[in-house]
Amino acid sequence: MALEDIFQNIVMFGIGSTLITFLVKSVITNHFSKDLERFSKLHEKRGLVIEELYGKLRDMESAMHTFANPFQYTDADMEEKGKNAASAVNEFVKLANKNRIYFDKKTCQVFDTIQEIARRSFNRIQTYDVHNLSSVRAGRTEQLKAWEESFDEIDRGIPSLRAMLETEFRTILGVPTD
């Protein structure tokens, strides 16, 4: 074999291997870019769900805290506070249930626990005539005790569960934690 033939074979091998490398790289890049695009869209959707869900959680927590606070000054707005609390609880629950697919089982259990606390507390307060605060203060100790238990459960339970969700949401979104 002449030196010219060896040189020609080396050039052909180089061209062939470059072409094969380029084709393999293109196929792999195309495959992974589709997966990356799909993952990126999923991550963006999860971010939007988290944003809306977290807002509903904070709204619910605030409305329930306002409604369940045993230190109400007037009877006038208790019915409105009850309606706002019920609406806020229902909006959070509806959104959490609708988007469970985006979260792991542990996070969904936290949603369920928040829902249980909110509904149990709301129902416990609604069992009594909360629209007539003066009757509560006039010696109905059972009613006042139930009300205070509900407030304590909301005041202690929901913030700790919210903190768990905040940590999980930050992890999902890739926000650095301290």
175 pLDDT tier (thresholds 50, 70, 90) = confident
Whether residue 63 contacts residue 88, with contact meaning beta carbons closer than 8 Å, is answered with yes
CB atoms within 10 A of CB 88: 23
Give the pLDDT mean for 135-148.
69
Q: Specify the CATH number for the domain of residue 78.
A: 1.20.120
CA distances in angstroms from 119 to 16, 59, 86, 115, 176, listed in the order given: 70, 15, 8, 6, 33
Residue 117 has pLDDT above 70, yes or no: yes
pLDDT tens digits along 1-15: 676 766 666 666 667
Q: Does 32 map to a domain?
A: no
Q: Residue 149 sits in which domain range?
A: 43-173
Q: Does 75 map to a domain?
A: yes
Taking the C-alpha atoms of residue 49 and residue 30, their distance in angstroms, rounded to an integer, is 29
Amino acid at 38: R
Q: Does 147 map to a domain?
A: yes
Give the pLDDT mean for 109-127.
90
Report pTM.
0.73
- HSE toward the beta carbon, residue 149, CA cutoff 13 A: 12
pLDDT tens digits along 65-95: 888 887 776 665 778 888 899 999 999 999 9
Q: Does 17 map to a domain?
A: no
Q: Does 15 map to a domain?
A: no
Strands (E), 16-113: none
* Count of domains observed in the chain: 1
Q: Does 72 map to a domain?
A: yes
Q: Does 25 map to a domain?
A: no
Q: Does 29 map to a domain?
A: no
